[in-house]
C-alpha cells in the first residue's frame, strides 16, 4: 500500500503537541485531577503533553492537591498565562522562555530536561539536489518564527558558515509550512518532531541536517514567581515536578506503550508517534537548572537580540530558580540513547 502524507488540514491538531511552536493561541480548560487537600495547582499543558505522560505512567494517583489543567496550542501563549498568573506552572521548549524573558514577563524556569536534537531537522524533498546546509544559500526555507526550529536554523546555518540573511526565510506555521513544502513552494523546512517523523514516515522528504550538536536539546517547566512565593503551592510544585521526572523516565522503558497513548490523545498515526518517541521523546533526562544551562540559553537570547527579534539584552539567569534541583545531574548530562 502506498503511504500518503496526511493533508495539511489534518495536521492542525499537531500544533497542540509541542511548545516549540509559535503563534497566538488561547487556552482552554481541561479535565481536573482531584486530590486531597485545599491547594489547587493550575498547570499549563499541551495536547498529549504532561497530563498524558503522568496519567500513562500512573503518576496522578494519591495527590495531596488538585491539578487544574489548561491546554494551550504552543509555548508563547502558555507563558503569557504564567505571566498573567492564570497558570502556576507549565512546560515549554528551549526558545519560548527566551522571548518571554525578552518581553520582561514574570516567569521562572524551575526544572529542565535534556534530550537529543535529532528530531529538530531541516528537511528537503526527496528529489532535492541539496546535500548539505551550506547549499541552502539563496534558497527558501520555511520556519515558525520564534520557535526552537528558528534557532536551529540559525545555528545550523552558522555551523555551515552562513547567516540567516543568506537564505530566503518564509515564516510559516507548521500546517502552512507542510503545504508549502509538499507543493514545492519552498526548498526546505526547519521543523521539529513529530512533524519530522511525519514527513519521513510518509516518504515525502529527507533530512538535510539536524540540530544534534548545534542546539542544546533542553525543555523546561516554567513557574509563576507568585506561585513560588506561596509555601503551599511551592510544595505542590515540588511534588508535581518529582512525578513528572519519574513519568518522563518511564517513557524510556515503555516506548511502545507511550506511543499508543500519545497517538490516541493527539490523533497522530501510531507509526509516526512511535518514530517520534524513539527519535526524541524517550531521550530526555531530568537535569539541573545550573550555570551551563543558563549560559546555553543566554547564547540563544543573544542570538535573537543580534537578529533584532528581541528588543534588548536579556539576563536569562534572572529568570531561573534552582531550588528544585536536588541531586539532579548537570544540564550537560548526555541524553539517553
Contact 241, 159 (CB under 8 A): no
Q: Is the pLDDT of residue 333 over 70?
A: yes
The domains located in the chain, with CATH, are 8-116+216-319 (3.40.190.10), 121-210 (3.40.190.10)
Residue 178 · residue 8 · CB < 8 Å: yes
Mean pLDDT of the chain: 88
The share of the chain scoring above pLDDT 70, in percent, equals: 89
Predicted confidence (pLDDT) at residue 22 exceeds the cutoff of 60? no
d(CA 242, CA 236): 10
The span from the CA of 320 to the CA of 292, in Å, is 12
Whether the per-residue pLDDT at 2 is higher than 90: the answer is no
Kindly give the interhelix angle for 148-159 and 291-306, rounded to the nearest 10 degrees: 80
> pLDDT at position 223, please?
98
Cβ contact 51:17 at 8 Å: no
Inform me whether the pLDDT recorded for 266 exceeds 70. yes
pLDDT computed for residue 337 by the predictor: 77
Residue 279's pLDDT band, with cuts at 50, 70 and 90, is confident
Could you read off the pLDDT of 86-122 as tens digits, one per residue?
999 999 889 889 999 999 999 999 999 999 888 899 9
Least confident range of 16-20, 204-208, 298-302: 16-20
What is the average per-residue pLDDT within 169-195? 92
- pLDDT, tens digit, for every residue of 130-161? 999 999 999 999 998 878 888 999 999 999 99
pLDDT confidence tier of residue 23, bands split at 50, 70 and 90:
very low
Amino acid at each position: 500500500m502506498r503511504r500518503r502524507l496526511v493533508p495539511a488540514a489534518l495536521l492542525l491538531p499537531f500544533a497542540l503537541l509541542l511548545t516549540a511552536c509559535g503563534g497566538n493561541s488561547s487556552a482552554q480548560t481541561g479535565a481536573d485531577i482531584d486530590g486531597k487537600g485545599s491547594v489547587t495547582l493550575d498547570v499549563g499543558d499541551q495536547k498529549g503533553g504532561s497530563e498524558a505522560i503522568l496519567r500513562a505512567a500512573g503518576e496522578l494517583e494519591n495527590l495531596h492537591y488538585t491539578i487544574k489543567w489548561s491546554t494551550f496550542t504552543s509555548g508563547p501563549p502558555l507563558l503569557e498565562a504564567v505571566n498573567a498568573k492564570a497558570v502556576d506552572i507549565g512546560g515549554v521548549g528551549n526558545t519560548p522562555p527566551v522571548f518571554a524573558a525578552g518581553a520582561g514577563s514574570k516567569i521562572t524556569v524551575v526544572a529542565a530536561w535534556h534530550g537529543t536534537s535529532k528530531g529538530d531537522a531541516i528537511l528537503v524533498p526527496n528529489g532535492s539536489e541539496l546535500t548539505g546546509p551550506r547549499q541552502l544559500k539563496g534558497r527558501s526555507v520555511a520556519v515558525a518564527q520564534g520557535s526552537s526550529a528558528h534557532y536551529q536554523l540559525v545555528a545550523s546555518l552558522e555551523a555551515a558558515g552562513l547567516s540567516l540573511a543568506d537564505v530566503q526565510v518564509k515564516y510559516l506555521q507548521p500546517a502552512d509550512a507542510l503545504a508549502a513544502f509538499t507543493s514545492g513552494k519552498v526548498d526546505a523546512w526547519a521543523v521539529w518532531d513529530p512533524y519530522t517523523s511525519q514527513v519521513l514516515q510518509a516518504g515525502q522528504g529527507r533530512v538535510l541536517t539536524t540540530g544534534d550538536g548545534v542546539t542544546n536539546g533542553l525543555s523546561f517547566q516554567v513557574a509563576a514567581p507568585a506561585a513560588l512565593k506561596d509555601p503551599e503551592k511551592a510544595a505542590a510544585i515540588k511534588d508535581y515536578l518529582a512525578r513528572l521526572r519519574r513519568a518522563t523516565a518511564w517513557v524510556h522503558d515503555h516506548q511502545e506503550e507511550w506511543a499508543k497513548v500519545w497517538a490516541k490523545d493527539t490523533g497522530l498515526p501510531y507509526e509516526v508517534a512511535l518514530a517520534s518517541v524513539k527519535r526524541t521523546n524517550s531521550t530526555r533526562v531530568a537535569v539541573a537548572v545550573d550555570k551551563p544551562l543558563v549560559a546555553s540559553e543566554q547564547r540563544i537570547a543573544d542570538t535573537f537580540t543580534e537578529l533584532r527579534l528581541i528588543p534588548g539584552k536579556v539576563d536569562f539567569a534572572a529568570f531561573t530558580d534552582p531550588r528544585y534541583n536536588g541531586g539532579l545531574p548537570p544540564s550537560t548530562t548526555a541524553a539517553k540513547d
